Amino acid sequence: MRCVFGIDVSKDSISVAIIIDRTMFRETKLPLNRDGFVKLEEALSSFNNPEVVFEATGVYSRRLQRFLDDMGQDYTCLNPLVAKKQLDGLRPYKTDRNDARHLAETQFIMNRAVTYKINSTYRKLMDFSRFYQEVSKDVATHKNRLHRSLQLVFPELEHVLSNTNNELYWTIVKYFSRPTKVTQEYSFSELVDTILSGTNKKISRARAEQVAHSLYTAANLSYSAVDDDSPVYQQVAHLVKQIQEETQLKAEITEKMIAIAKELPEYNELLSIPGLGARTVVSLIGELGDIRRFKSSNALNAFIGIDLRHYESGEYVANDHISKRGNPVARKILFKSIQNIASAAHYHPNHINDYYQRRKAESDQRGTKKVAIAAIHRLLRTIYHLVINNQFYDYSLAKK
C-alpha cells in the first residue's frame, strides 16, 4: 500500500489530499499553525512510510518544512517552476484543493526524489545572507538620497575627500553640511579639532589640517540652493545616521556569519581559493547552501542560473544566453568574485584567472561579461570539486 500526501501551502492554511494506491482517501484543509500541524502529524502517523509532496511557496512553506524536519518525516519540496511545468496540463480549474490533489496524483507517475535535508547551520547562513543583502540595498538607497540632498545644500562637500565611503567622510557630512557654518562659525583650529574628535579611526593632525583646508575652500565656493534653516539639513543628518548604523550592522552580520561558517569544513576550503575573502565565502555558502546536495557542477550552474540556453530553427541560430532562472544574489556575488580573483592573481596566481585572461584576449567582442560568465562556470566547478573531495586549492594541480 502506497500513501501520498499532496499539500498545497497558502498564506495561513494548507490543503491536504491523501491518496492511497491512486485512490482518493481524504481531503482536508488545516490552519498553518501548531493546531494544524498536530492534526497533520496524527494523519501522517496513521500510515506506514507516507510520502509527502508540496510546492515551495517562499516564507509560507518554510513553516511546514520546519515541522516536517522536526518530525523526521521525509518529503519532496518542489521548485515552483518545476511544479508549474509538471502540473500545467492538470490545472484547467485551479484551486488550492485541486493543486494538492494533483501534486499527490502525479507523485505516482513521476516518483519524485526526496528533498535533501540541509543542516540548520546553512539555513541560518542563508537568512543572514538575505538580511545582509537587504541592508546593503537600504544603504545604497540612503546614499542616493544623501547625494540628492547634498546637491541642494553643499555639493562641493562630496569632493573634499577622495573616498566618500568611510567614517571620516560621514563625520565631515554630519558636522559640516552647511557651508556658512564652516566659514562663519568655526575657526580653523576648531575645524581640525572637530574632525579629529568626530572619527573613530585615529588620523594624524596633519591629515586633519589637510581636510580642514579642503573643507574651508569648498565652503567658500559653495552656493546653497536652500536657506540655512531648511529642513534639508535635518534630512542630511538623518540619512548620515541611517547610513552609519546600517554600515555597522553589515559588519556585525558578517562577523556572525563568519563565526557560524567556521564550523563547516568547506569554509576553509573555499577560503583557500585566491581572491575569495571571508565575507565572500560566507555569502556564497549562505546562498548556495550545502553544495553536496547537487549531483554535479552542472546542477549547481542551473541552481544559480548560468546554464546556457540554446535555440535554433532551420537556418536560424540564436546567440546562446544564460537562463537567469536561478539565484540572482549568488550570480552577483560570483560575478564580483571573478573580479577579485583577477586582482589577487598579481600576487596569488590561479587557473581561473589564467582562463579568464586567455578568453578575454581571444574575444573580439566589446566588454567582458560573457567571458566572466564562462569564468564563473569554471569557478563553480572548482568550488564543487573542493567541497565534494574535501580538498584545499592547489594551483599546481588546478592548472593541469
312-319: which pairs have CB atoms within 8 A and are 24 or more residues apart? none
Quick check: 160 and 214 in contact, CB under 8 A?
Answer: yes
Say if residue 155's pLDDT is above 60: yes
pLDDT of residue 311: 47
Q: Are residues 269 and 194 in the same domain?
A: no
Highest mean pLDDT among 91-105, 306-320, 328-342: 328-342
Summarised one tens digit per residue, pLDDT across range 170-229 is 989 989 999 999 999 888 898 888 888 877 667 888 998 999 999 999 999 999 999 989
Say if residue 258's pLDDT is above 90: yes
Q: Are residues 162 and 202 in the same domain?
A: yes
Cα maximum dimension of the chain: 88
Distance CA(252)–CA(269), nearest Å, equals: 23
Give the bridge partners for 313, in sequence order.
316
Q: How many CB atoms lie within 10 A of CB 12?
A: 10
Q: Are residues 223 and 295 in the same domain?
A: no
Tell whether 116 is covered by a domain. Answer: no
Q: Buried b vs exposed e over 361-393: b needs ≥16 C-beta within 10 Å?
A: eeeeeeebebbbbbbbbbbbbbbbebbeeeeeb
pLDDT mean over 120-138: 94
Q: Are residues 306 and 331 in the same domain?
A: yes
Say if residue 317's pLDDT is above 60: no
Q: How many CB atoms lie within 10 A of CB 240?
A: 21
Tell whether 380 is covered by a domain. Answer: yes
Domain of 389? 264-398
Q: Are residues 275 and 300 in the same domain?
A: yes
Say if residue 74's pLDDT is above 60: yes
Judged by average pLDDT, the poorest of 90-99, 108-117, 243-252, 341-350 is: 90-99
User: Three cell numbers at 53?
Assistant: 509532496
Say if residue 359's pLDDT is above 60: yes
Question: How many domains are contained in the chain?
Answer: 3
Q: Residue 89: pLDDT band by 50, 70, 90 thresholds? A: low
Distance CA(265)–CA(98), nearest Å, equals: 44
- Crossing angle of the two packed helices 96-110 and 80-87, in degrees rounded to 10: 80
Q: Residue 318: pLDDT band by 50, 70, 90 thresholds? A: very low
